[in-house]
Amino acid sequence: MSGPSKLHFVNFSQLRSFYAVGRELSFTKAAELLRIGQPTVTTQVKALEETYDVQLFLRSPRGLKLTDAGEALLTVARQIFSLEEQAVGILQAEGNQISGKLRVGTVGPFFVMELLSAFHAKYPLVQVSLESGNSDLIYNKLLNYEVDVAIIGRDYDDPRLDLLRLGRHEVIVFVNGSHPWAGRQQIELRELDGQRMIFREPGSMTRRALEDLLERHRVRPNVVMEIPRDAVREAVAAGLGVGIVSSTEFVPDHRLTGLPLSDHKPFTESYAACLKVRRTLRTIDVFMQLVQTGHGGEDK
């Protein structure tokens, strides 16, 4: 008879140090995160590499980069330490009091602030951090365990996600006070043909919604810039072109005029999402429950 199979294990202190360095791509920041000395972090990562005769990082004067083996190990480490986080949440819970941290990724602060206000009122012991970006960026951060929950502008049809619809939002254009359209109430889609326009960066659902409409109706604006959300407002205010924005995000500004499209209206949708495998983490679960009971998928 053959004996019992060998039990494989990894040194968790070494793996934790690798995980911290892999997240931060910095030994210094990893040491601060773990609250241990940098030499200890360096020694533990080196020991992990030597034990398995593998290189996990490429070191150069420009900084650290994960090798293919390092990328693969980081994916597994994220899952391991996510489970550890769930265990800590269980151990720290006091009755119905929920504490801990919740990292929220969002396509824009306007979509999430009402939710966060309600969440904070109900769970004041949870420390919330917020990160903004376009939908593709936030979606990828969710998959990589860099945020816990996400407010995104698209149904990615990904079976790994729990997804709840928040609402539907009209996309409008806006101009500065010296633009010929500044005194108008609305414009037609065809008027964008040849118009100097400032677009959001690729990955923005606001941009994609308008682009789909422009393509269907063969309208070709002159796109002069592709820049992040906050920069679009200032570029339009400076007279560099016409901008686009979700009506939900358009903040009144004496320098700017918002103009809906009268004939063909583009829309985006917003969703709250988390990874199904992480839904058992209490802070994630109560956030998603709050979304479900507080919004119910109604248009807004």
* Angle of helix 12-24 versus helix 38-52 axis, rounded to 10: 110
Q: In the chain, where are the structural domains located? A: 12-80, 96-166+269-294, 168-267
What is the distance between the alpha carbons of residues 182 and 57, in angstroms, rounded to a whole number?
A: 54
Taking the whole predicted model, whether its pTM rises above 0.75 is answered as no
pLDDT of residue 300: 37
CB 228 within 8 A of CB 90: no
What is the distance between the alpha carbons of residues 258 and 176, in angstroms, rounded to a whole number?
A: 9
3-state secondary structure of 250: coil
- Phi first, then psi, for residue 297 (nearest 5°) are 80, 15
| pLDDT tens series, the chain, 300 aa | 555 666 677 888 999 999 999 988 999 999 998 999 999 999 999 999 999 999 999 988 888 999 999 999 998 898 888 888 777 766 766 556 787 889 999 987 776 888 899 999 888 888 999 998 888 999 999 998 889 999 998 889 899 999 999 888 899 999 999 999 999 999 999 999 999 999 988 888 889 999 999 999 999 999 999 998 889 999 999 999 999 998 888 888 899 999 999 999 999 889 999 999 888 888 899 999 999 887 433 333
CB 185 within 8 A of CB 237: no
The CATH superfamily label for domain 168-267 reads Periplasmic binding protein-like II (3.40.190.10)
pLDDT of residue 204: 86
CB 224 within 8 A of CB 196: yes
Q: Do domains 12-80 and 96-166+269-294 have the same CATH topology?
A: no
CATH number among 1.10.10.10, 3.50.50.60, 3.30.450.20, 2.40.50.140, domain 12-80: 1.10.10.10
| DSSP string across 225-243 | EE--HHHHHHHHHTTS-EE
pLDDT of residue 265: 92
CATH number, domain 96-166+269-294: 3.40.190.10
What is the CB-side half-sphere exposure of residue 294 using CA atoms within 13 A?
Answer: 16
- First-to-final CA distance of the chain: 67
